[in-house]
Every structure is written in C-alpha cells, then in structure tokens.
Amino acid sequence: MSDLKYWEARAAAAKPESRMFINGKFVDAASGETFDDISPRDQHLITKIAAGDTEDVNRAVAAAKTSFDSGVWSEMNPRDKKAIMLKWADLIRANQEELALLETLDVGKPISDSMNVDVMGAARTVQWYAEAIDKTYDEIAPAPRNALAMITREPLGVIGAVVPWNYPMIIASWKVAPALAMGNSVVLKPAEQSSLSAILLAKLASEAGMPDGVFNVVTGLGPAAGQALARHNDVAKLAFTGSGPTGRKMLQYAAESNMKQVALELGGKSPQVVLDDVADLDACASAIAWGIYYNAGQTCNAGSRLIVQGGIKEELFARVTKFLDTFKVGDPLDPATMMGPIVSKAQRDRVNHYLEMVGKNGERFVFGGETATGESNMIAPTLIDGVKHDSVLSQEEIFGPVLVALEAKDEAEALAMANGTEYGLAGSVWSGNIARAHNFARKLRAGTVWINTFDMSDVITPFGGFKGSGSGRDKSLHALENYSALKTTWVDLN
Ligand code: NAD
C-alpha cells in the first residue's frame, strides 16, 4: 500500500462533498446551516457539513415515499435490482482509496483498516445482499387441497436508518443493503462525526443506476435530523445503531408518532473469559489485545472485560504486554499504524473520566493509563487490574482502548461475572477442553459467542444483542426479516 506521504498528499488535496443527497441530487440544508467536521487526527476543519433538520428530513422522506409508491424500485424485476446493486458494490471497490481516506479523516481509523476492512466490508455486504435478491423464495402453507395459502414477504416502505461513527460505512451497509434488497426506499442519517463516506456511498449508488429517491442521505445532528426522521409518520421502520440512551429515545419517538417498528443495535461490555486450562496462551493474548484495542476500543462488541480464572492472570498479562511491543499506535494516515486516535474530544474526555477513577478502589494500571489532553486525541492501550465486578469500570461501556481485568475463583464465578452486566452483545471463552468451552459458551447470554478466538465475523452470520444490547439483527439472510412484513394470501380453489 502507498506510504504516509502519499496519504498526506491525498488528505491535503481532499475536497469532499459535504451536502446531503436527496432525490438523486446534492442539496444544502433548507436552512442553509452547516456544522464543522473536525478530524481527530489533528483537529483540522475538514469541511462544513449541511446541517439537516425537520424540513430536510421531510423532503427526503417524501422523495423516498414517492419512489416507493411508484414501484420504480420496489417493483423492479429482481434481476435488474441485483444488477444495480452489484454495480454499486463494484463502484465502492473502485473508489476504495477515496472512501478510505474520508473515513480515516473523519474518525481517525487507521488507513489500512479503512482500506481493507471498512471499504471492502461495505462492498462485500452490498454485493452479498445483491446476490440474495433473486435467490430468496416465498412460501406456500400446507393448506387443504381446496385452497392455496401463500406467505409472501413484502417491503415495508420507507426505512429510516440512524447510524454511529465507529464503523460508519460498514454499519450503514448492514442496514441499507438488506433494506434496499427487499425493495424498500431508505433515508440514512449518518453520525455527525462521519457524514462523508455516507454521502459518497449515496452518489455511487446513484451512478450505479439506483433510481432517484430510493436511497437518500440526510446529514445533521442527532437531536435535529435524527429525531425528525425517527418521529416521521411516513417512516415504516427505524433501524438504529448507537448508544443505549439514544436507543431508548428511538423507542419513545416511535411510540409518540406512528408506532413504527424499531430495531436497536446498542452497546456492550463484552467479556473475554480465560479458563485455567487455556491451551495456547500466546494466541489468547493476541486475541485479547486485538479484541479491545482494534479501532481504539470504539467497537460495540469490544472485548472490554477480561475475566481470568485464578492462577494464570500474571502470565497472561505478561503475554498481552509483550504482544503490544509490536502494536503500532499513531498517525492514522500511516499505513503501518494499527491504532489511531479517539474520534472526538468529547469521546476522549469520556474515556479520560474513566481513567481518572483508577486507584480509588484499589485498581492499578498494568500498562497505559495516561489521559489525553490539549489537542491530542491519542489514548494508549490500557489495562487495569484489580477491578471489582460491580464497579462502574466493570459495568459501564468506556468505548476506548481500555481493558479491565477481573479475577474469578472458578468457572461458576467467571460465568456469573460474564453475564453480570446490563449488556449481552458478545463474549468469548478460552479453554483447551472443547466440551467445557462449549458448555460455557451455551450459558453466555450474548448474541455472538466465540470459542478460542475473538471477533471472527462475516456478513453470512447475524449480529445483534441480548438484553440491553438491543433487539435487532444485522447481517445474514435474517436481516431481510428486519425490512419486510409477512403477507398471507388465501385463494379459494373450489
Ligand atoms: P449515539 O447514540 O450518540 O449516536 C448514534 C446515532 O444517533 C448518531 O447518528 C446520532 O446523530 C444519532 N442521535 C444522537 N442523539 C439522537 C437523538 N436524540 N435523536 C435521534 N438521533 C440521535 O452513539 P455513538 O456515540 O455515535 O456510537 C457509539 C455507541 O454505538 C456505543 O454505545 C456503541 O456500543 C454503539 N454501537 C453498537 C453497535 C451494535 O451493532 N450493537 C455497533 C456500533 C456501535
């Protein structure tokens, strides 16, 4: 891949589109207002983004509804829809560098990750759902001979998608691609920290042949544009990924408007459990480190709690520490960088606040722990030992490169700790005895469980949470259920 100089030159020359995309056109906010898009890399102003509000949401939803009602997409021959979405996936790949650059400038993600994981992940998701379009069938019920009872899946209409900043393109594609594959029209509201890749994705969809009004992007702040979309009476479904408190508001907005369906993908405090018969401590140590420090810990399913069965903790700490010798932290535009800065000063200060708690109840830093100050958003990988299970550090989502370690006296206590938070997004267990690991995994209350690994994932499997981590499922063919309703049609054959 190109070097730091190449990416610096591209960043200096970047002139990203900053208007929203409604009904096939770039438009300013009706109010003419904008907000600043600041890069966490160096706090420079990347551009000013159109600050959408109720009027813009109304325009976008009206365009989406008109396109849906016209049948231009919802009733298009599946083969033709597939061809447009496949072309869109190709265009995403063809614009890999531009999309990756925008993502890295916006959120501070290492450019190598933006290139290889985020852009390619979004393209693969769009392609995967495109390919599903002409391969999913409806059902015929086992009715008596004198009747035909068909069960068909129908698109819902206008889907409102509100997404976060930590995996902007990937999470947008998890929602937009299955929604479009089912024949819906979509209005996407990206997070204010990460509008740029969403705007370009919409342009590329249009270039691929997506009819006007089918895929719209309204940029803007959450309480303004996000709320207006969530409260809109012509939105049939709200697909949300973000924090628990905002998720609660989404349910409230739906209840206070048209009782639209709501799918929530929320936070986590995922446990990485290491039992005392773990077979490969080095593999375990590197998975633990990647599990928390990837994307600077700003991952909903980050393995942010390390639960170790007594006896092997110090040895494990030593191996995680050694692994970090080769873990390059720094400028996200450097292709060698493995971890970049925290997305914003507000998020950095939130992480700082948790770091400042350490020591008040007997906790200690094994490594890291310095707060970030001034213009820097860099927080080093941090490991905190001596954390009590019921403490704030162990219970609340920090959303930074901070791992807390808990020691369990036996397997039962490890399980109680693993399940002992409000969340249930993911978790892992390490053991050399596969039956033991399996039995433990079965008892983990989480949407995704890994055995002797962490963070394996692909569009082929569903992703979502138990308990306070949400209710919806992104990815896999199951995500199509999010964006469709079952219709029963009886035919009298007498
Ligand atoms: P957030 O809830 O602050 O924002 C998410 C989105 O909601 C943004 O687009 C934002 O503009 C919008 N929003 C904020 N306030 C709103 C309001 N009052 N009305 C309508 N919209 C509003 O979350 P965040 O800080 O962007 O993202 C981090 C959170 O997302 C973490 O809790 C993380 O765990 C979670 N997350 C979950 C998953 C998952 O799949 N479960 C994936 C990624 C992130």
- Written as six digits, the tokens of 101 are 């650059």
Q: Are residues 262 and 286 in the same domain?
A: no
For residue 406, what pLDDT is reported? Answer: 97
| Structural domain boundaries, residue 114 | 4-266+470-489
Asked whether 415 and 437 are in contact (CB, 8 A), the reply is: no
**Would you say the CB of residue 471 lies under 6 angstroms from ligand 1?**
no
Is the CB of 116 inside a 6 Å radius of any atom of ligand 1?
Answer: no
Residue 67 contacts by C-beta under 8 Å, 6 or more apart in sequence? 23, 73, 185, 211, 212, 213, 214
pLDDT tens per residue across span 4-24: 999 999 999 999 999 999 999
Three-state DSSP class for 372? coil
Separation of alpha carbons 229 and 253, rounded Å: 9
The two structure tokens encoding residue 317: 């700490």
Q: What is the pLDDT of residue 182?
A: 98
Cα(242) to ligand 1 centroid in Å equals: 2
Spatial distance between the Cα atoms of 453 and 462, rounded to a whole number of angstroms:
18
Contact yes or no for 246/240 (Cβ under 8 A): yes
The domain that holds 369 is classified in CATH as 3.40.309.10
pLDDT tens for each residue of 172-207: 999 999 999 999 999 999 999 999 999 999 999 999
Asked if residue 79 and residue 178 are part of one domain, the reply reads yes
Q: How far is CA 80 from the centre of its chain?
A: 29
Which CATH number do you get for residue 112?
3.40.605.10
What is the count of structural domains for the chain?
A: 2
Domain identity same for 241 and 285: no
| Residue 232 shares a structural domain with residue 203 | yes
- Are residue 285 and residue 239 in the same domain, yes or no? no
Going by C-alpha positions, the residue among 295, 342, 332, 337 that lies closest to residue 117 is 295
pLDDT tens for 323-373 read 999 999 999 999 999 999 999 999 999 999 999 999 999 999 999 999 999
User: DSSP string covering 145-210, please?
Assistant: TTEEEEEEEEE-SEEEEE--SSSHHHHHHHHHHHHHHTT-EEEEE--TT--HHHHHHHHHHHHTTP
- From atom 39 of ligand 1, which residue's Cα is the shortest distance away? 265
Residues 389 and 405 in one domain: yes
Catalytic residues: 265, 300
Backbone angles phi, psi at 188, to 5 degrees: -105, 130
Kindly state the percentage of the chain with pLDDT values over 70. 100
Same domain, 394 and 411: yes
Any domain includes 463: no
Domain assignment present for 232: yes
Does residue 181 sit in the same domain as residue 293? no
**Residue 1: its pLDDT value, please?**
61
Residue 258 lies in a domain: yes
| Ligand 1 pocket: which of 107, 117, 243, 473 to mutate (most atoms within 8 A of CB) | 243
Task: Kindly give the parts of the chain with pLDDT less than 50.
Answer: none
pTM over 0.95, yes/no: yes
Instruction: Label residue 27 exposed, middle or buried (CB < 10 Å: 0-12, 13-18, 19+).
Output: middle
Locate 36 and state its tokens.
């600043």
Answer yes or no: is the C-beta of 226 below 6 A from any ligand 1 atom. yes
Distance, CA 266 to ligand 1 centroid (Å)? 8
Q: Is the CB of 269 under 6 A from ligand 1?
A: no
Q: 469 near 266, Cβ under 8 Å?
A: yes
Residue with tokens 């009819």: 211
Which residue's CA lies nearest to atom 10 of ligand 1? Answer: 222
Domain annotation covers residue 464:
no
The answer on 239 and 122 residing in a single domain is: yes
Q: Are residues 298 and 244 in the same domain?
A: no
CB 242 less than 6 A from any atom of ligand 1? yes
**What is the residue with the minimal CA distance to atom 30 of ligand 1?**
242
Using the mean position of ligand 1's atoms as its centre, give its distance from the Cα of residue 282 in Å. 34
Give the per-residue pLDDT at 226.
98
Measured between alpha carbons, how far is 3 from 1 in angstroms, rounded to an integer? Answer: 6
Alpha-carbon 274 to chain mean position: 26
For residue 494, being part of any structural domain is answered with no
Q: Are 29 and 211 in contact (CB under 8 A)?
A: no
Q: Are 32 and 143 within one domain?
A: yes
Which atom number of ligand 1 is nearest to the Cα of residue 242? Answer: 30
Q: Do 9 and 140 belong to one domain?
A: yes
Ligand 1 closest atom vs CA 474:
40
How many angstroms is it from 316 CA to the middle of ligand 1? Answer: 33
pLDDT digits (tens, 9 = 90+) for 397-414: 999 999 999 999 999 999
pLDDT attached to residue 283: 97
What DSSP designation does 408 have? E
Contact indicator for 414, 430 with CB cutoff of 8 Å: no
447 lines ligand 1 (CB under 6 A): no
